[in-house]
Amino acid sequence: MKTATIPSVRVEPEFRDEVEQVLGEGESLSQFVEAAVRASVLQRKNQSEFVARGMKSLASARRTGAYVDADEVLHRLRTKLDGAKKQLGAARR
């Protein structure tokens, strides 16, 4: 498969210097830009999917009248977070 290019982006020289200062060892500016674009595309896809799941859940809740109390959701999230912290703490030992 042939590769394609992403259009050039004009930036102030100071910003280019700033970007070049954060490049990893052996990393080219092109590699950095590609990684940044890929990360941005992935973040936007994830955000879009998250919103779609939320809208689907909202429609289901409205249709069925089955809602979960916010305090219960927060409790479940705190329990998950506490469990993850315990696992992280155990892994660091």
Name the token pair of 31: 């590699």
- Residue bearing tokens 């259009």: 7
- Residue bearing tokens 């590699």: 31
pLDDT, position 52 = 98
**Cα–Cα distance, 37 to 8 (Å, whole number):** 12
80 versus 89: the higher-pLDDT residue is 80
Global pTM exceeds 0.75: no
**Cα–Cα distance, 73 to 54 (Å, whole number):** 14
Write down the domain spans for the chain.
Answer: 13-67
- For the segment 27-56, the average pLDDT, to the nearest whole number, is 97
